[in-house]
Structure 1
Amino acid sequence: MSDLVISLDLELFWGVADSRTVEGYRKNIEGSFAAIPRMLSMFKQYDVCATWATVGMTMCRDVNQWMEMQPEVLPTYARGECSSYTLLQKVREYPNLFFNRGVVEKILATPGQELATHTYSHFYCGEFGATPAQFAADLACAQRIAAELGVRYRSIVFPRNQTRPEYLPEVAKAGIQVYRGNPNHWLYRDGHVTPGGIAGRAVRFADTWCPLTGQHVGKPVRHDGLVNVPASLFLRPWSPGLQGLELLRLRRVKKAMAAAAKSDGIFHLWWHPHNFGLDPDQNLHALELILQDYQRVRDQYGMRSVTMGDFAANEAA
């Protein structure tokens, strides 16, 4: 049996605060608030499940709750700007870019959608100075805020795809069973870090349109009480400067999905909701074409739409 897995990294500005400015990226975040209900409606229309890996801080009601709800141990990153706890001034000035419990409630109210954790603070396991003990404290805080919404996590997506083996025991201890690993290719194994410098980044970029690294058909990997459901492709957002390559971009996704369907594998597509914050009509049109093609391979090959959490040991088919 083949599976379509969709996971979305719901971060708001927490996920880009160390690399973007408010002035340069606020439209992407604000635009995602309108795009997310449209995505949910589309998933419902096409009977597609999705996993929404959400930064726990986004679920705080306001800055006061955020200040009160902190883990027992804060991260000690060598690069202090990576810590969400240094953002107090921006959080006070632009709270709508950091908090939106309402959008999470919309996700939970939509059939077939799973709320997973993207850690509480967008925790960087690959950042020098971070420790597993700090990560464990962060996960405990993520679980506390989720419990307010009646959620018990089954799945996790590591921020920046920084999956590190020394942190996985803490995931298991927290009762989380499933994580999104990276594609099994040297160009992607280390998450957001691209080997090969400029050449490696160029190959990754071109891989969006041409299958230079293969189709990335996945299989669940079970170990030490956890299940790795590896990513296949990142759904790069529509770009006005690259619209002439749009058919190639969609063909890349569809061929990879078909390859998984034919081989009883997993096609795991992921993106950030803020990737749809600009040009939402074009991005949602592309998503609809992909979902329509999913229906075709579902009818032809029996592909299922499942969440990451559906691979948990006590729920696996």
Structure 2
Amino acid sequence: MTVDRRSLMIGGGLALGASGRGPAKGAASAAVAEVTGAVQPDLMIDLWPGGPPGMAPVAPAEMVRERSSDPTLTDRALIHIARPRLAVFRARNPNGAAMLVMPGGGYSWVVIDKEGYEIGPWLAQRGVSVFVLFYRLPQDGWAAGADVALSDAQRAMRLIRHRAADFGVDPARVGAMGFSAGGHVCADLATRFATPTYDPVDVADRQAVRPIVAAPIYPVVSMYRPEAHEGSRRNLIGESPDAAAQRLHSPHEQVTPACPPCFLVHAEDDDVVPVENSLLLRRAWRAQGLAVDTHLFMQGGHGFGLRRAAGKPVAVWPELFVEWAVGQDLMST
């Protein structure tokens, strides 16, 4: 991937690990990007003690790419993630709930601001502890391949529950939210939470993985054409995937009666990820008799998050989510 002159690559320590140490020994050779800005999380937690499993012989060199041409408005993306980690936004008045948030990026990068650092404070102000996941990307050569982001999401759910007491979180009230390709990670987690994708590394891996609710927002879902988002499909399962790979990595094909309640939002004029992706997921949830709340908007485009929804009908989606989450015992009024 070409990175322009505004991109930044910084070696060294962004995130102190869960133990408060610097970079883990197993990841010492990886360049790790420093993410700074007006909005900062309260804490960073490394997902994997000793470094993430299955690293390629040449470790990814993380980069932060600024994509905004407006100097007053940041829109950053984290590329070649070497140390998957959680950016923690502590609830201001904790109600016991937590959300694992997975930003998008087409499996080419992970968005930092509009689907991560903007979502964290919004939910934290409403009593929810937020954990923004910077997950690994499959094209960087990890041994887990197309399951590498799911591995990080599974590990994140377990780690949040393992450390629940540190954040005033009820382990039974941890949900998941994702946007675009992060919505695919979210839907993958909600459908394949019980699928082993890595070997246990410590006591945290004894914790449950299933989220209490799942909220894929304008999600990538299908790996089948014509509904598939081509970039996500290519980055996840390659240029010419076989039928088995397409089915395995299409969450609407993996829904079981054990899946959690689901909240969906999509704009009908989305010209990046077709609205049919959400409709496929809705249909699959309903076919299993599962609870699914679906909100479609005529206008909104793709990647609206919170900030880019302003002034459009789709701007009401956060209120709709809060109302739904109250009904799911995730949030309080």
Scaled by the length of structure 2, what TM-score is found? Answer: 0.33
Higher relative contact order (CA 8 A, sep 6+): 1
